Amino acid sequence: MYQLEFRGQWLSLNAVYTKHHHQRNIVKKEYQQRFRTMLLGARIPELPAFRLRIEYNSRMDCDNLTAGTKVLVDTMRELGIIREDNKHIYKGISIEPNLELAHNTYQITIIPEEAANPVAKTKKSSGKPGKTRSSVPPSDYLEESNTNEDQTKPIPKPSGRTRRNR
């Protein structure tokens, strides 16, 4: 587990939305440099997979922090800490307020995990060369369907006429 602390103004999603794309790029580069310095100082090796946890105390709400977390993860990729930022490597994020922290403080925890294998094991099917099939039977990964009578009735099609609001 790697714990980092960021102090100061976090990159706000609301602020990003209100800027012109040239201004957004300038702000993004400023935060990339701040995150780059912080990440290099932590000497984090390459991670096969990870989760991100952020605790913070600021005026922002949780979803407003996502612009900054995007830039943080992109910077991790740029530095070679992670190879990609897909769902097999970046396993999840948790953002929670922590009123015990000083104002405008963000505790970032990078939690290493084992990498998921994005490709299911395959084996050749009988008869046709080059064809493959999953070695996992469908019953192992499909949820059981509920055969409730209400769920099997067809959904009626709309008549095409709609009532207009007056």
**For residue 133, pLDDT beyond 80:** no
Print the domain residue range for 109: 2-113
Q: Is residue 101 part of a domain?
A: yes
Q: Is residue 37 part of a domain?
A: yes
Per-residue pLDDT tens for 37-51? 999 999 999 999 999
**For residue 152, pLDDT beyond 90:** no
| Domains contained in the chain, number | 1
Q: Is residue 148 part of a domain?
A: no
Per the confidence metrics, is the pTM higher than 0.85? no
**For residue 135, pLDDT beyond 80:** no
CB 125 within 8 A of CB 133: yes
Q: How confident is the model at residue 121 (pLDDT cuts 50, 70, 90)?
A: very low
Q: Is residue 95 part of a domain?
A: yes
Q: Is residue 15 part of a domain?
A: yes
Q: Is residue 118 part of a domain?
A: no
Per-residue pLDDT tens for 3-43? 999 999 898 887 777 777 778 788 889 999 999 999 999 99
The CATH number of the domain holding residue 36 is: 3.30.1330.70
